[in-house]
Amino acid sequence: MSEGKVQDKAPPGGALQKRAKGAAAEPPGNSVVLGLNGVEVPVRHKGGAGYRTYEVHQRERVGQSTEKIKPIQLISEDFLRDPYPLLGILRENYPCYRDWLSNQYWVTRFDDVTSLIQDEANFETRSKLWFYGCEDYGRDLFSELPVLEAHAGRIDANAEALADKVIGDLAGGGHANLATEFAARYALELLIAVLDLPDEDAGEFAERYWRMQRGYLWDPVAEQAGLRAMDELATYFYPLMTERRKSPGDDLISAVAGLDLPDGPATPQDLVVTLLERDHETLHGSLANYWYLLLTHPDQLHRVQEERRLVKLGYLETLRHSTPVLTARRFTRQEVERFGLLLPEGALVMCSAAAANRDPRIFSDPDTFVVDRKDICHREARGQFRADGLATGVAPGFGKPSIHPALPEDRPRSLFAINRDTAVIASRVVLDMLTDLKLATGASPCLRSRRLGEMHTCWDLPVTFRKR
């Protein structure tokens, strides 16, 4: 370091230093001079000589330099809009970034992210109820077989008819917002159908459901609203459950009401928790992102229009290119040594699906959207997010992939498969019923998280079309 550099960086106004400097001798020729007063400091830690204790080693490993990225950027407005450049900096420079501001670690490379999501021995996912701080509120009954079957059965029975209905409802004039009028509404219609709620309750239910799902993160106003929504939903479900316990249908409420559990019959609170803990956004978000990508890449849209086989592949590519759920939050179950670091017990590790999905080690030209991408697997992924030797996009909303997705015949298909098939059906209906589909003139849609930690999707996708 030169003497000039010391002066540049010195804190403001050190007159005492300045005078000291005036008195200092000229630095001698070749020796390393660090001080203001010509105090010579031999640099011992370079060139392999000298000591390198564990502590010094740790310091360099742990001491993530903030030169390239500051932690506040990871909760900034830029990150809400476009997280990919910032995540790219992490992925290419800091395989496991210690974020001191938000007390968490970021893991961003594909192999690391997928292995952490799979590693149940060392990592856990905490429930939304835990984030709400009321773990005793109710039980999550979604793993009960009758509930799973009711869920899958109702979706299969209604997916196509509901898509017809939603697209049929689009304005005759040929202007619509596909993000809200199609993607958001379709996902909600499907949920209403799964629960078999009366039409007149649908709007109110959807509002409460959204309020509940948005409340478990960090925002205290949303949290209060969400807790209220949970109570309102439980009150709303109470008569429905009583009624369907007497005369059950094939819907999810009947399935929950009819459960015979060792620790008491299911309560309306259990039903609320069962809904809360489900992914609520991936179908909605991925449909919106899919159509956002198709409409902003007209060449790709054209290919999908020409060849319906590609609808499914394009959807898989969407989950990779623009996953709606950006991150899986995992907590260490005990002290774990990974990435040359000791992750302490209870540490929060942000497994960034978004960063993993754009990992150039896995996907060539990862920022490009290609509906029939060659280096992505076209089947349901197995354990390590791979199948047939190829990697798949990581979409945390669907949970981790099963190791044997195709095998168990006594269980419904995985959530991944159900959602994928539903999204493909709905997208085909769009292609069948609408022609001349394009972005409205002057529209410049974008992806955005509405709030820190929420899904990254397109909220406004104005289009023009003609109905067939």
Partner 1 sequence: MNSLASFAETLAPDQGEGEDPGASRQFPLMPEGEAYDMGHAPDGTPLFDPRIFDSAEFFRNPYPYYRILRDHYPVYHDKLHNCYYVTRYDDITHCYFDDEGFNTIPKGSSSGVLGNTQLELSGVEHRRRRNLYGQHLVGKSLENRVPAIRRLAVEMIETWDGINDDQIIIDRDGSRTVELGRAFANEFPIRVVCEVLGFPKEAQADFYYWYNSMMSGLGASDTHKQGLEARQHLEDYVEGIVEARRKEPTYLYDEAGNPISKDIISKLCETKVDGDYLSTEEITSNIALVVGGGGETTRGAILNMWYLLLQHPDQFAAVCNDDNLWDSAFHETLRHSTPIGGQPRQNTFDVEMHGVHIPAGSLVNMVDFSANHDERIFRDPETFNMFREDLYNGKLLRSGYRKEGRCSHMAFGVGPHLCPGAWISHQEAVEGSRVLLSKLKNPRINVERMPKDIDGKKLRPIGLVSARELWIDYDLG
Q: Is 70 in the site for partner 1 (CB under 8 A)?
A: yes
Q: Is 189 in the site for partner 1 (CB under 8 A)?
A: yes
| Alpha carbons 186 and 171: distance in angstroms, whole number | 15
Q: Is 119 in the site for partner 1 (CB under 8 A)?
A: no
- Answer whether 445's CB lies under 8 Å from 439's CB: yes
Rank residues 291 and 459 by Cβ distance to partner 1 and give the closer one: 459
Binding piece for partner 1, criterion CB under 8 A, among 102-110, 152-160, 318-326, 391-399: 102-110
Determine which residue in the list 1, 145, 157, 403 makes contact with partner 1, applying CB under 8 A.
1
Q: Is 369 in the site for partner 1 (CB under 8 A)?
A: no
- Residues within window 219-238 making contact with partner 1, judged by CB under 8 A: 219-221, 224, 228
Determine which residue in the list 133, 265, 340, 360 makes contact with partner 1, applying CB under 8 A.
133
- Residues within window 334-363 making contact with partner 1, judged by CB under 8 A: 342, 344-348
Binding piece for partner 1, criterion CB under 8 A, among 67-75, 137-145, 421-429, 433-441: 67-75
Long-range contacts at 160-163 (CB < 8 A, ≥ 24 apart): 160/425, 160/429, 162/186, 162/189, 162/190, 162/193, 163/425, 163/426, 163/429, 163/430
Rounded alpha-carbon distances, angstroms, from residue 220 to 114, 134, 214, 226: 31, 14, 11, 10
186: enclosing H helix or E strand: helix 185-195
Q: Is 58 in the site for partner 1 (CB under 8 A)?
A: yes
Nearest to 151 by CA among 194, 213, 203: 194
Nearest to 183 by CA among 162, 214, 205, 157: 162
Q: Is 2 in the site for partner 1 (CB under 8 A)?
A: no
- Residues within window 264-293 making contact with partner 1, judged by CB under 8 A: none
Q: Is 37 in the site for partner 1 (CB under 8 A)?
A: yes
| Alpha carbons 71 and 98: distance in angstroms, whole number | 9
Q: Is 444 in the site for partner 1 (CB under 8 A)?
A: no
In the complex, minimum distance from the CB of residue 1 to partner 1, in angstroms, rounded to a whole number: 8
Rounded alpha-carbon distances, angstroms, from residue 330 to 102, 118, 215: 14, 10, 19
- Residues within window 142-181 making contact with partner 1, judged by CB under 8 A: 169, 177, 179-181
Rank residues 217 and 425 by Cβ distance to partner 1 and give the closer one: 217
β strands within 142-190, DSSP E:
175-177
Binding piece for partner 1, criterion CB under 8 A, among 73-81, 248-256, 363-371, 387-395: 73-81
